[in-house]
Structures are given as C-alpha cells and as structure tokens.
Amino acid sequence: MVINKKKVFVLGLDSVPPELLFDRWLNQLPNIKRLISQSRYGEMKSTIPAITCPAWMSMMTSADPGRLGIYGFRNRSSYDYDGLSFANSKAVNVDTVWGILSKMGKKVVVIGVPMTYPPQPVNGCMVTCFMTPDTKGEYTYPPELKDEVEAVSNGYMLDVDEFRSDNKESTLKEIYAMTHKRFRLTRHFIRSKEWDFFMMVEMGPDRIHHAFWKYFDQDHPKHVPGSKYQDAILNYYKYLDEEIGETFKLFNDDTMVLIVSDHGAKKMVGGICINEWLLQNGYLKLVHYPAEVTPFNKLIVDWENTMAWGEGGYYGRLFMNVKGREPKGVIAPQHYEHVRNELIKKLEDLRDENGNTIHTKVFKPEDIYSECNGIPPDLIVYYGDLFWRSIGSVGNGTIWADENDTGPDDANHSQYGIFIMQNGSDKEGVRLHGVTLYDIAPTILDYMRVKIPENMEGKVIA
C-alpha cells in the first residue's frame, strides 16, 4: 500500500550521534545512505541539558527548557528540601506540533514520544512513552486503542527492563524485541490509520549505547578487546536500517520524512561525585557521613550549615541554599551571585584523579534560556564536557568514580544529535550546518502550510 496524501512522518531515534551514523558506519547502512543521498542532513544541536527529557519536548514545541520549566526528568516543585518530582505530559504547557495540528482538524499519530504519559487527547491516536509505569494501566489515546496495540505487537514493550545491567544477553534481546514491536506497530498504523502527521520515537539506540559502548570504542577506559559484543552496536544499527527501509517503502514523494535524534552519545570516562565535592569544599554539611554509599535523599543534611547540594545524572545540577528562599537558607540574597560565581570558578577548575583538567562547563540558567519558569537549578554542570557524569550519592570517600551509581553504564550524552530531511524535492544529499532541534517544529508546520507560532524559537530548515 502506498500513501498518496501530502503529510509528514518523523522517526525519532533517541541518542544517535553524527559521528557514528554519518562518519563511521554509513556505508554499511544502505537504506539510510540512500535516503541521505536525496536529503538535507547533518548534525543537530540539542538542548542544554542534552537529555531525553526535556529535549524531545523542546523539539516538538520549539521552546527551550526554561520556557517549558522542565530542566530534566525530575524537577523541584517547591523550594523545600523534599526532593524532585518526575515530569510528565501534564507539565508541558506549550503547544506541541501534534497539538497545533489537532486543533486544526488534521489527523495525528504519536507513538513513544518521551513525556507523552499520561496520554492526552489528540485528533487521532497516541501510544505513550518509556516513562509510562507499565502496560497494565492506561497508555493509549483513545483508551480502547490499547487492545489493538497489544494484539499487533504481541505484547507491547515500553522499554527494556534494566539496561544498566551486567546481564548483557538479556539486555540485547530486550532491545531488539522492543524495537521490533515498535516498528511493527508503526507500519500497522501507517497502513490502517488516517493521518497527516505521524511521529514515532525508538529508545533502542540510547539503551544499546549505554549498555555496549565500551565493547567497540578502543578509547573507552573499560574497553574489552575481542569481546563477542564488539559489533553489538553496529549490528543493531544494521537492524535499524532494515526496519527503516521496510517502513519508508510505504511513503511516496508527497510525504516529507524526517529522522531525528534528541542528542548524541559519547564514551563515559567516569563520574564526579558532586556532593562529595561540595562536602570537601565546605559547601555541604551532613549530620552523619554514611558508612556506605547512600543516595542523597537518604542522608540527614545539616541544612543550617549547608550552602549547596547537587543531583546526579548525565549532567550535574547544583542547588543553593538561599536565605528567604529555602526554609533554612544560609546564603544572603546579596551574596548569591558572589557564591555562585565562586562555585563556577571552582567547578570549572575540577581535575581528574591524576590532576589533569577535564574542561568542565557550567551554565547559569538565565544565560542560556529565554525565560526560566518553574524552579530552575542554580547551576547546570557539564563535567568534562559530558565525558564525565554527575554522581549524587555520598559515601565513596572520593570525588571520582569509575562507574555510575545507578548501575553499569558505558556512555554519556553528547550535545549534537542528527537530522535527515527528505521532502521529495531534494535530489542530492546536502550536509547542512547550524541546525538545532528547535528548527524541527517550525519546519514541519511550514511544510504543512500551517502558520508558525511567533514564539517558536527555531527557524525553518532551508
């Protein structure tokens, strides 16, 4: 069946770096190579932070994380010390592409786009993302769509159970199963649903990078020469290429197709224990130092003598204890900028355990966002320019770690993902530069002859 109606199809591949897809393995991916030969394509700059949540929503709203008020998977909901709350679809207060199109009466299909749980009404249908608790509850719109999803996929998979695991065989098997089910469902919906806009996001690339990066990258500190998994990621890319080839057979020149990723990936050299560093530098004080490695939210903090604390993740977030803002704040508001600048200077001078500089970057939210809604972190930290991750737990007795505290992990995120855009009129592959993920939403709306909201931050890709 060939679709004969002008429309847009977006395939999202979470965490695909241009270095692997365009520069290293393209000749072994015939379907993607053929598509690129007739497309505009290139690297695509992600949000700061370069992480799944909020990046996909910034891409689909063309609004930066500050405008969205979403600074990561978890965010402060108040200035007390109760920890962070998980963001979900109810936190997205800026129109998405599919929301705009739905209001205009255009039909949409959305599968697996991060931050779509709980499902919201659309003019069409929606299957939510890996952030959905499980498939026992409601994860589709309309709710009755769930039976069809389960039947077509023979048991839908939202995510692999645990990709940070030493059980590599199980992880690999689950990644393939998840990807197969999602592409099978996607092709079924392409054929069976009425749609003008269709978007599917596959999480498999992100999971396989985190689980298997060290096996192919000879520069990785934990590289395992000659492992049977040395081609695990390449073979998965070849499998993706086959799925993409089968799927794209269903379109003709009237369908603009986009392949996009929310960020890239790179080797993880190690971790910086952000709260250990704050302890050692006198900014954080605990009632008791733990006898074993302990998550920060399980510690008893001496808040009346604490100036700052941090969160773990692929990037670091640092929060300051400000008088009149936090319940037991100690930093006088007039000293806030002085202390913050002092922290930036010290963080950017961080060294590895051998005394070598690691080129850490620190951002003030108001310097990188058009506005700051919700409660932003006081500082956002790229340890070692994202070659190092942030470790939030305490008890290591050192600021350096050679492993993630939430499980084995080989890769961190990188700032640049990929885009490939084929709209039927492109007959020669042209590699573009300077594209950001904020450009995707206005490009889609422009192609569909829909007025672009004035507050979208990106531009139409020309």
**pLDDT tens digits, 305-341:** 999 999 999 999 999 999 999 999 999 999 999 999 9
The answer to which of 4-13, 196-205, 381-390, 451-460 has the lowest mean pLDDT is 4-13
What the block records as the tokens of 31 is 């379907």
How far apart, in whole angstroms, are the C-alpha atoms of residue 25 and residue 23? 6
User: E strand or H helix at 141, and its extent?
Assistant: strand 140-141
Q: Indicate the pLDDT class of residue 353, thresholds 50, 70 and 90.
A: very high
Q: Three-state DSSP class for 339?
A: helix
Strands 416-422 and 197-202: unpaired
Polymer length in residues for the chain: 462
User: What is the pTM (predicted TM-score) of this model?
Assistant: 0.95
Residues 6+ apart with CB under 8 A from 375: 75, 76, 77, 78, 79
What residues form DSSP beta bridges with 420? Answer: 41, 259
Q: Are 153 and 184 in contact (CB under 8 A)?
A: yes
Per-residue pLDDT, 407: 77
Q: If we measure between CA atoms, which residue out of 255, 261, 240, 315 comes closest to residue 435?
A: 261
**pLDDT tens digits, 68-92:** 999 999 999 999 998 889 999 999 9
**What single-letter DSSP state applies at residue 286?**
B
Q: If we measure between CA atoms, which residue out of 367, 364, 286, 349 comes closest to residue 318?
A: 364
User: How far is C-alpha 233 from the geometric centre of its chain's CA atoms?
Assistant: 18
How far apart, in whole angstroms, are the C-alpha atoms of residue 185 and residue 125? 12
Q: Are 50 and 206 in contact (CB under 8 A)?
A: no
Is the model's pLDDT at 3 over the cut of 80? no
